[in-house]
């Protein structure tokens, strides 16, 4: 099991979450990724749905990293990297850019890339991101239900 979990953590998880630091994740996408992870973990344990083993038990047995936590850790790491740059590069400017001529339609506003950082750390989240030690203690994967 240890070999399988190492393979999952080193090969499958990076392939599954390639470019995740720039994603604008929704609840549906997170749920789909969680379902894929649970299916792979069941396969690793050679279990089927007929065995009726709870997902928490399977997750403890396999010891693989959580895909949602991995996504938000990558996003936090990327945001800190972008904001600590000293030069005015396009990635830093694009991160802080807000379209002025944007006309919002009806309904709830769309989730943007900055939403988890703003909800967890407030409007001045970028000040905390400039300090590496403080920024590493931020858990973005809890932003939907803190």
Question: How far from 96 is each of 56, 83, 123, 126, 132, CA to CA, in Å?
Answer: 39, 9, 12, 9, 19
Whole-angstrom Cα distance, residue 23 to residue 33? 13
Is 71 in contact with 141 (CB distance < 8 Å)? yes
63: left (phi over 0), alpha (psi -120 to 50) or beta: left
Length, in residues, of the chain: 146
Residues 67-123: tens digit of each pLDDT: 999 998 898 888 888 888 777 777 777 766 666 677 777 887 777 788 888 888 888
Whole-angstrom Cα distance, residue 145 to residue 141? 9
For 41-71, b where at least 16 C-beta lie within 10 A, e where not — what string? bbebbeeeeeeeeeeeebeeebebeebbebb
pTM: 0.78
Residues 52-79: tens digit of each pLDDT: 888 888 888 898 999 999 998 898 888 8
pLDDT at 132: 86
pLDDT at 31: 92
């Amino acid at each position: 099991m240890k070999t399988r979990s190492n393979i999952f953590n080193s090969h499958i998880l990076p392939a599954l979450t390639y470019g995740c630091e720039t994603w604008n994740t929704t609840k549906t996408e997170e749920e789909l990724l969680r379902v894929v992870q649970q299916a792979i973990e069941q396969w690793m344990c050679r279990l089927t749905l007929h065995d009726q083993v709870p997902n928490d038990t399977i997750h403890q047995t396999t010891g693989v990293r959580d895909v949602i936590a991995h996504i938000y850790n990558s996003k936090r790491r990327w945001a800190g990297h972008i904001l600590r740059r000293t030069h005015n590069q396009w990635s830093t400017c694009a991160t802080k850019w807000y379209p002025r001529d944007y006309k919002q339609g009806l309904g709830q506003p769309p989730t943007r890339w900055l939403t988890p950082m703003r909800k967890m750390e407030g409007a001045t989240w970028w000040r905390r991101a400039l300090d590496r030690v403080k920024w590493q203690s931020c858990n973005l994967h809890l932003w939907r239900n803190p």
